[in-house]
Structure 1
Amino acid sequence: MKPIERRLFLDRFLNYVKFDTQSSEESETYPSTEKQKELGRYLVKELTEMGLQDVEMDEHGYVFATLPANVDYPVPTIGLIAHMDTSPEVSGANVKPIIHENYQGGDIVLPGDPEQVLKPETDKALKECIGQDIITSDGTTLLGADNKAGIAEIMGALQYLIENPDIKHGKIRVAFTVDEEVGTGTKYFDVKKFGADYAYTIDGESAGEIEDETFCADTAKITIKGVNVHPGYAKGKLINGIKIAAEIIERLPKDSMSPETTEGREGYLHPHAIKGGVELTEIIFLVRDFTVEGLKEKEEFLQKLCDEMNKKYAPASATLTVEESYRNMKYKIDEDPKVVEYAIEAVKRAGLQPKQGLIRGGTDGARLSYMGLLTPNVFTGGHNFHSKKEWICIRDMEKAVETIVHLANIWAEKSK
């Protein structure tokens, strides 16, 4: 196939990051910020000008489009998905992207905030980009590669397929979603209306990575009801809910089972928030593991702590409730493994070594997989997401576009 030209994706990416699309965890609207729709409207215009069909932005802010098949035999419809919002953790306003040409190693000091420095000794992926062009922000904001790189790469692949009709592909459905960063990216996503048989989120990191596993996730809440009386006359009567909460947290393992002490396949029990007073205190825990069994073990540990507090501090009480968040998409994807096998083959055809990985978190793809649309995650080439040190290598963006093109072609090829 012909080389992937930068014009297909780079100018788009540098333009998209200038849209402030930061989502909000505090908002009660959907999408959580109206400004996400500004990028959505712009993408509708671009998709229409490219000649795609069924282009729309719906009432929820989702952008959809269709690239028709160019073969006359049945091929499964493939979905390509990326999200428009950026993380609430770091500002996405007034992003000033900088291209560091022909990186030769060493530190990269970001000029807008010289305290923001990319160091190859701590950022190992930089060493794989010697001689390449790297994009960062100026250090005062995040870059927005998560996930505007995915959007630009999808758009670049669509343009490439339109310009090269000799590359055969089935029907491709495109979706650009909102509010992924606040966990509600698929809240109103209509899988049936989308009409894809399989899909891919283009939202991963290092070049060559295909991710088909996520955490299983629950949110656990311990509600502590203390006994409150006037502190001046409290001897033998007052039972302080705050102190019970402190004791529960103190009893958590110090060297394991926390985000700061785990990696790889290790799960954790993370006290995420605490609020309240003497009479009523609540602790919110994020419970994460790659298996449902691992989740249950951690929740049983919390229940044991509650039982002990109830025995020790009666008539005060500690009650555990658990709410399911999402499940490891691998449970579903393993039911039809070709969706991953074809992605791995596409990476190989792009000249990369495939790396089948896992996500210590969740994705829109995890929820979509349980909604009936198997959706593993494909790399974008970005690094240090959600931070001012976010960066991406232009070569790896090019490889992401190439991988998407091969992926579309493989589905057509395998369907003959």
Structure 2
Amino acid sequence: MFTNYKYSVTDRFLRYVQIDTQSDPLSASFPSTAKQKDLARLLVQELQAIGVTDAELDEHGYVYATIPANTDKTVPVICLCSHMDTSSDCSGTNVKPIIHRAYDGSDIVLPDDPSQVIRAAEHPYLLQKKGNDIITASGTTLLGADNKAGVAAIMDAARFLLQHPGIRHGAIRILFTPDEETGRGVEKLDMTKLGAQYGYTLDGGELGSLEDETFSADGVKITIQGVGIHPGTAKGKLVSAIKIAGEIVAALPTDRLSPETTEGREGFIHPVRIHGTVEQAEIDFIIRDFVTAELANHEQLLRGIMEKVLLRYPEASAIFAVNPQYRNMKEVLDQHPQVCAHAETAIRRAGVEPLRMIIRGGTDGSRLSFMGLPCPNIFTGEMALHSKHEYVSIQDMQKAVETIVHLVQVWEEEAR
């Protein structure tokens, strides 16, 4: 099917990563940064150019588009989704992508900052890609493979399907979202307008991976009220909210329940931001576990630490606020086994062995699943995310394109 096909996924990817779409977790606006719409507008133009006539960008930064059904069967409407923003953890300004043709298995020195070296010994998956064409950034920014590899794969698959009308499929909804990296990616999404019954995010890593399980996640904000006064006359009066915040963080477990001491399905309590003044300080935490009920236990432990520290400062007070973020999508996907089963079939048809994996994180699919759109995550090849060492295999992206095409065929074949 793809023997003589000239993939566009690489050219698209190289074009997309040079557009700065970094989101901002501290912004109250939506999307959190206006520049995310720069890519969104380009995607609408490119979709229209390949024949997707209803492609549109809404006020919130979502791109919606449809590839109409070309079968008489009643096929569920499938959504293909990727996010356009890149992480705030590393600069996304002036990304310079570099293709390393026929990667030879050696360390990759990034030219704009030779101290940045992607060491093969530290990236076992990269060693598996020996002989592939690898794309990296130049050493001063992230690459943006998370998730522009997914965006590019969906765009190329759409192009392929429109060029090959003999491939039967139901209606396909394309969705590109802003602000996935802030955890707000589907906050303003119009599910009625989307009109899909099942979905897939293209936001996974290793070739063949199919992720159907994520963390369940809460955010916690502790707001500490101290007593401010001029330091020259502060004896016996000043109570520093900053120092209290520091004591709370220092009292967290050091041998467990932290990202640096956990793996697999182990959860954690993780302080991600601390800011304030002597009079008032805030600590933001993310709480994660694969068992939703465990979140409450982790939060009770954190609350107990806060209360124990405050006992030493009777003039201070604190507010402990929990913000539910997303839940383990497996709770929904287990009720719709055909969604992952069809994806596994599609991956096999692309000539790859499927790998069921868990995500120590979340995707838009986590929230979409609980919004009525069961939505696992399919590979794109994006690796070493949110860092200057991010990379992606061109061949992995091409296999993601093939998987998408096979996937919509499987849904049509299984329909009655």
Normalised to the residue count of structure 1, the TM-score between the two structures is: 0.94
Moved more, 225-234 or 92-101: 225-234
On the 8 A contact 2:22/2:88 being kept in 1, the answer is: yes
Secondary structure of 1:61 counterpart: coil
C-alpha distance in 1 between matches for 2:182 and 2:223: 24
Give the structure 2 partner of residue 153 of structure 1. Answer: 153
Q: Would the alpha carbon gap of residues 167 and 278 (structure 1) be closer, same or farther in structure 2, given more than 3 Å must change?
A: same
Partner of 1:84: 84
- Note the 1:347-386 alignment, pairs <5 A: 347-386=347-386
User: Which secondary structure state, in structure 2, belongs to the residue aligned with residue 411 of structure 1?
Assistant: helix
Could you say which residue in structure 2 is the equivalent of 1:280? 280
1:43, 1:130 → 2: CA distance? 32
Larger displacement relative to structure 2 (46-55 or 89-98): 89-98
Q: In the alignment, which residue of structure 1 is the partner of 2:96?
A: 96
Specify the code of the residue in structure 2 equivalent to 1:25.
P
Matches within 5 A, 1:322-341: 322-341=322-341
Q: How many residues align?
A: 416
**Amino acid across the alignment from 2:263:** E
Identify unmatched segments of 5+ residues in structure 2. Answer: none
- CA spacing shift, 1:32–1:242, aligned 2, 3 Å: closer
Q: 1:394 to 1:57 in 2, by over 3 A?
A: same
Residue 212 of structure 1 aligns with an amino acid whose one-letter code is: D
Change (3 A) 1:71 1:270: same
Amino acid aligned to 1:80: L
CA distance in 1, matches of 2:139, 2:4: 29
Q: Does 1:117 align with 2:117?
A: yes
What is the alpha-carbon distance in structure 1 between the residues aligned to residue 205 and residue 80 of structure 2? 16
In structure 1, the gaps of 5 or more residues are none
Partner Cα separation in structure 2 for residue 236 and residue 24 of structure 1: 40
State the 1:225 CA deviation: 3.3
Q: Indicate the RMSD between aligned Cα atoms, in angstroms.
A: 2.0
1:199 Cα deviation (Å)? 0.7
Matches of 1:306 and 1:332 in 2, distance apart? 34
What does 1:8-407 correspond to in 2, within 5 Å?
8-227=8-227, 238-407=238-407
Secondary structure of the residue aligned to 2:121 is coil
Would the alpha carbon gap of residues 409 and 4 (structure 1) be closer, same or farther in structure 2, given more than 3 Å must change?
A: farther
Q: Contact 2:183–2:325 (CA<8 Å) still a contact in 1?
A: no
Deviation at 1:90, TM superposition (A): 2.3
Alpha-carbon spacing, 1:245–1:4, altered in 2? closer, same or farther (3 Å):
farther
The answer to whether the Cα contact below 8 Å between 1:213 and 1:329 also exists between their aligned partners in 2 is: yes
Aligned 8 A contact 1:4 1:402 in 2: no
Q: Percent identity?
A: 54
Helix, strand or coil for the counterpart of 1:323?
strand
Q: In structure 2, how many angstroms separate the alpha carbons of the residues matched to 1:368 and 1:121?
A: 37
CA contact (8 A) 1:133 1:394 kept: yes
- Contact persistence 1:53–1:68 (CA under 8 A): no
Identify the range of structure 1 (201-210 vs 20-29) with the bigger mean alpha-carbon deviation: 20-29
Alpha-carbon distance in structure 1 between the residues aligned to 2:31 and 2:321: 28
AA partner of residue 341 (structure 2): E
Cα distance, 1:202 vs. partner?
A: 0.6
